[in-house]
Amino acid sequence: MVRVENIDPPREIEGSAGRILRDLERFGMTPNGDVLYQSTRTAAFEDAVGRLIDQGDAYWCGCTRADLPSSGIYPGTCRAGLPRRRRPRSVRLRTDGAEAGVADALQGELREILQESVGDFVIRRADGLPAYQLAVVVDDAFQEISHIVRGADLLQSTPRQVYLQRKLGLPTPLYAHVPVVLGPDGTKLGKRLKSDPVSRHRPATAVAAALRFLGQEPPAGAGLDELWGWSLEHWDLGKVPRSRELPFPVVDA
């Protein structure tokens, strides 16, 4: 299954979702069902926020970014109610000193006191859009996701998601956070830095390079279908390095 996480219309580039889906198809990955667009899930996100407010686990906040301390950790200004002359803007989840964590299959155990590390965090933004943490938790459960393999740059946000799952009574998937792809200067690759897009590379060459980056040993010279077949049979999470200091190997265009 494929999920397009287009919950932030102001930042969405027209046609980008279609290009991503075409690239996936060119690389031999086709969804086994309808593509889920998060922009169609507004009612589900609002329902989750409403439930958390009704349970007393979330509250309206009137603070702006400028009101936060330099640490970025929310001090609980609106926990007991909106101060005078402040209007409701966002919705925050109470953390109340609770410990949250994840037993990551690759990175090991990560536990933290959310009130100390992030404070009460936003689940509904001031512009009315759902926060990323809420949207992925609700849709992971909706799509019955059992295993999540993603970049290690998202590891720090996982305890918040596990805490949200607990508050909403949703199952917690098994997580594995793999090393992220870095450029020559050690910066994570991404569209913001105009990194070399995957669409410029031959699919079989790029997939083989990605497998090697993740510690796997695909057969040399294999075609795309052979690589995917080999991967399904031989993928070994135990061979994936916890981190990589070297940049992503260069592949021929």
| Same-domain status, 45 and 162 | yes
| Same-domain status, 128 and 219 | no
CATH code for position 232 = 3.40.50.620
| Same-domain status, 34 and 99 | no
Instruction: Dump pLDDT digits (tens) for 65-111.
Output: 999 999 989 999 999 999 888 899 999 999 988 889 899 999 999 99
Instruction: Please state, as a whole number, how many other Cβ atoms lie within 10 Å of the Cβ of residue 126.
Output: 15
| Same-domain status, 148 and 158 | yes
| Same-domain status, 243 and 168 | no
Structure token digits, residue 202: 């031959």
* R_g (Cα) of the chain, nearest Å: 20
Instruction: Dump pLDDT digits (tens) for 159-197.
Output: 999 999 999 999 999 999 999 887 777 777 666 655 556
CB 179 within 8 A of CB 152: yes
| Same-domain status, 27 and 62 | no
Number of domains forming the structure of the chain = 3
Single pTM value for the model: 0.88
Structure token digits, residue 208: 């083989």
Q: Which domain holds residue 5?
A: 1-38
| Same-domain status, 128 and 252 | no
| Same-domain status, 48 and 170 | yes
User: What is the pLDDT of the chain when averaged over all its residues?
Assistant: 89
Instruction: Dump pLDDT digits (tens) for 117-176.
Output: 999 999 999 999 999 999 999 999 999 999 999 999 899 999 999 999 999 999 999 999
pLDDT for residue 246: 42
